A and B are shown apart, each in its own frame.
Chain A
Amino acid sequence: MKIIVCLKQVPKNDSILRINDAATWIQDRDLTYEINESDAYALEAALQLKEKNGGEVVALSLGPARVQSVIKEALARGADRGLHLEDAAFDNLDAFGAAATIAAAAKSDGFDLLLTGLQSDDHGYAQTGVIAAELLGLPHATIVMDLQTEGSGIKVKRELEAGFFQWVTLPLPGVFTIQSGINTLRYATLKGIMAAKKKEIKKLDAAALGLDAATLAPKQQIKRVYFPQKSKQTQMIEGTGAAAAATLVEKLKNEARVF
């Protein structure tokens, strides 16, 4: 069983964000990065499937040189090889462009399962895996909590709304978007980190993937980025000690009347 897992590098969850001068995205200087949360669970799901069924786990990341650190992290945790999709033409992809790029790379490498997290913490499209499935002509399932191989296919547990779940059986190859929290993430061991140094990371650009400008052209465009307008007037209470606590309790009692 060969599994390709897509790992997006995103700014750390607690990053202080600043808007760029053109107000089209954030300033990327001074940021530290991490693996997108649900992608980390997709990687763990891939590693566990390999431990159970044998095969290979390939860690794929799309982005500039810095994204090699997430590929290396995945290799240290147990992935076998890396695919790094890097090209100046990939700089401002929307979900469709990213999916087209990932689909081209996944197709050229071959796979039984293509895994992504269900949503990125930055753009938050929640679409890339599903679009890739369509472009590859493959079945998919989203918001997956569990994967069980069944004959030549796979049975996955999907999360639905309002506390419902559903098992769905699909043929392979297929594309699956993974929910956060479905397994326990492993850490890279020292041995894993050493072993990762010998593992291959293959770089692929737009030409190698046969991607033209028309395919990568955005189908949705950000006109402007801004801090959200407050929908409520928030009363900020200064301080953090007993005085602030007393002020809050007084307001909750006399203004909001909750006590």
Chain B
Amino acid sequence: MANGILVFIEHVEGQINRASYEAVRAAQLIGAQLNQETAAVIFGNGVSNLATEVAGKKLNRVYTVESDSLSSYTPDGYSIAFKQVIEQVQPALVLMAHTYEVRDFAPKLAASLQRALVGDCIGYKIEDGAAVFTRQIFQGKLSADVVPTGDTPHFVSFQIGSFRGDECEAGQAEVQALTVNLNAEQVRQQPEARFKEAKAAVDLTQAPLIVAVGRGIKEQKNIEIIEKLAAAMGAEIAASRPICDNDWLPMDRQIGSSGQTVAPKLYLAVGISGAIQHLVGMKGARTIVAINKDAEAPIFEIADYGIVGDLFEVVPALTAEIEKMKQ
């Protein structure tokens, strides 16, 4: 009989991914409302210290799954092992943080059990005694309430920042080792060591004021008006991914899931629609200003101040006004 909520704990280089605690928090909340037991599972080789850390959270159990073939993350290794854990533990719901690693293996795991993964959710509600999950569609322009259908287990991943990992209730969980059958030949991916490209020249995380530019700027030569605005403000320039993809600004100016994560005093977003991959990198800013021609752009959802209009009019006017103020 399927029962309980099982949370996937991700780790790299001996550190638990903080996003996993957001998934633990989600499990605590949903578990309390639906009267379900909660457990976490951690895969690897030599993960007892990490399991002890997770066991300090309010959970009924923490499972460890250890194997030489789980020393490095691979989608094959994790999917094969996780499937066997699900057969042993029989959870009703499997919760994960929607990290790059989860994106890499979770759809395969769910498909191997003929189940859906309701991915990248931003919240849940309980309707008729069952959880309904909210996910963003059209890059955050719309929300959709989604239910997994058919038999359990159901698989759900939550977008980073959807729950507060630091609000996890403390507790004392029992740690239990599970055994799986996994041999090296079943793992077809051979990963090499993780690396960073040449060190980022600019550390935007320390900048108090940031002016960020997006697709709305249309052409490389128009970046100049953003540079003038940033110079007038004494701000650093940043960009959304498409701008860096086009080499209009260097990669180390990119904000978002694949770039830097910043929390400045002021984040002024110009011509940025606010795709979720961008928002995760800047939504912690204290004050957010958005200038965009599309009143429905998701950036306005998180902005403190908004101007709907042509950035080619607004930006020069703003530059002139700031120069006037500074005189």
Which chain A residues have a beta carbon within 8 Å of chain B's beta carbons? 11, 13-14, 16-17, 19, 26, 94-96, 99, 121-127, 130-131, 133-135, 139-143, 158-161, 163-171, 179-181, 218-228, 230-232, 234-237, 239-242, 244-246, 248-249, 251-253, 256, 258-259
Give chain B interface residues in 144-194, CB to chain A under 8 Å: 144-150, 188-194
Distance, CA A13 to CA B322, complexed state (A): 32
Query: Are the C-beta atoms of B309 and A244 separated by less than 8 Å?
Result: yes
Query: B296: which of A16, A171, A224 is its contact (CB, 8 Å)?
Result: A16
Interface hub of A99, A228, A241 (most chain B Cβ within 10 A): A228
Query: Are the C-beta atoms of A225 and B147 separated by less than 8 Å?
Result: no
5 A-B pairs with the lowest CB-CB distances in the bound complex, closest first: A181-B245, A240-B309, A219-B116, A127-B107, A139-B188
Q: Specify which chain B residues have a CB less than 8 angstroms from the CB of A163 in the assembled complex.
A: 196-197, 200, 258-260
Query: Are the C-beta atoms of B304 and A235 separated by less than 8 Å?
Result: yes
* B126 interface residue per 8 A CB criterion: no
Q: Specify which chain B residues have a CB less than 8 angstroms from the CB of A227 in the assembled complex.
A: 141-143, 296
Query: Are the C-beta atoms of B325 and A226 separated by less than 8 Å?
Result: no
Q: Specify which chain A residues have a CB less than 8 angstroms from the CB of B317 in the assembled complex.
A: 240-242, 244-245
Query: Are the C-beta atoms of B119 and A127 separated by less than 8 Å?
Result: yes
Distance, CA A210 to CA B254, complexed state (A): 45
Query: Are the C-beta atoms of B104 and A130 separated by less than 8 Å?
Result: yes
Chain B 200-214 interface 0/1 with A at a Cβ cutoff of 8 Å (1 = within):
100000000100000
Distance, CA A221 to CA B146, complexed state (A): 5
Query: Are the C-beta atoms of A161 and B99 separated by less than 8 Å?
Result: yes
* B132 interface residue per 8 A CB criterion: yes
Q: Specify which chain B residues have a CB less than 8 angstroms from the CB of A164 in the assembled complex.
A: 194-196
Query: B141: which of A17, A99, A142, A170 is its contact (CB, 8 Å)?
Result: A17
* B115 interface residue per 8 A CB criterion: yes
A215 nearest in chain B by CB position? B114
A-B contact count (CB 8 A): 247
Distance, CA A169 to CA B189, complexed state (A): 6
Query: Are the C-beta atoms of A125 and B321 separated by less than 8 Å?
Result: no
Query: Are the C-beta atoms of A220 and B149 separated by less than 8 Å?
Result: yes
Interface SS, A side? mixed
Q: Specify which chain A residues have a CB less than 8 angstroms from the CB of B303 in the assembled complex.
A: 232, 234
Distance, CA A143 to CA B107, complexed state (A): 14
Query: Are the C-beta atoms of A256 and B304 separated by less than 8 Å?
Result: yes
Chain B 89-119 interface 0/1 with A at a Cβ cutoff of 8 Å (1 = within):
0000000000111011101101110111111
Query: Are the C-beta atoms of A125 and B100 separated by less than 8 Å?
Result: no
Query: Are the C-beta atoms of B289 and A252 separated by less than 8 Å?
Result: yes
Q: Specify which chain A residues have a CB less than 8 angstroms from the CB of B258 in the assembled complex.
A: 159, 161, 163, 179
Interface hub of A122, A133, A219, A253 (most chain B Cβ within 10 A): A219
Chain B 220-231 interface 0/1 with A at a Cβ cutoff of 8 Å (1 = within):
000000000000
Q: Specify which chain B residues have a CB less than 8 angstroms from the CB of A94 in the assembled complex.
A: 116
A138 nearest in chain B by CB position? B188
Query: Are the C-beta atoms of A131 and B296 separated by less than 8 Å?
Result: no
What's the minimum C-beta distance from A137 to chain B, rounded to whole angstroms?
10
Distance, CA A179 to CA B141, complexed state (A): 21
Query: Are the C-beta atoms of B116 and A234 separated by less than 8 Å?
Result: no
Query: Are the C-beta atoms of B137 and A225 separated by less than 8 Å?
Result: yes
Query: A256: which of B115, B140, B193, B287 is its contact (CB, 8 Å)?
Result: B287
New A-B contacts (12) at CB < 8 Å, excluding given A126-B103, A163-B260, A240-B310: A16-B294, A17-B142, A123-B137, A130-B107, A131-B111, A134-B79, A159-B258, A168-B190, A222-B146, A224-B145, A225-B142, A249-B322
